[in-house]
Amino acid sequence: MKQELKNVGPEEFDYLRSAAKKGTLLDVRSEDEFADYHLEGARNMNYLGPNFLEQMDQLDPEETYLVYCRSGRRSVRACTLMKNAGLKNLIHLDGGINAYSE
């Protein structure tokens, strides 16, 4: 699963994020985690929430999305689901936002 994704570290993620279109930075953590802290410009799509598949269906399959969570586990799963749904251009923050503090 993970090896099929484009995995990048915090430095490259920030660089890509600075040039990303509005609405393409996806935080797949819970609403509470998102409320506590999130990367600037992120949009919350709770991977474990009841609306994740509906939200995913509304994404443009031609767009590039930057996806992250806390440690990288949920975002890998979210990216896999998104890829299976036809979203090909996914950039995954390896290690999640925890990677920023290492």
Model confidence pLDDT, tens digit, residues 39-66:
999 999 999 999 999 999 999 999 999 9
Residues of the chain with confidence (pLDDT) below 70: 1-3, 102
Interatomic CA distance for residues 97 and 102, integer angstroms: 10
pLDDT, the chain, mean: 94
pLDDT given for residue 28 in this prediction:
98
pLDDT given for residue 101 in this prediction:
80
The residue whose two tokens read 């440690």 is 71
pLDDT given for residue 14 in this prediction:
96
CA-to-CA dists, residue 9 to 65, 82, 86, 90, 96, angstroms: 15, 20, 24, 14, 9
In degrees, rounded to 5, the angle at the alpha carbon of residue 55 between the alpha carbons of residues 92 and 70 is 35
Within its chain, how far is the Cα of 64 from the centroid?
11
Nearest to 33 by CA among 80, 83, 61, 71: 71
pLDDT given for residue 32 in this prediction:
98
> What count of other Cβ atoms lies within 10 Å of the Cβ of residue 39?
17
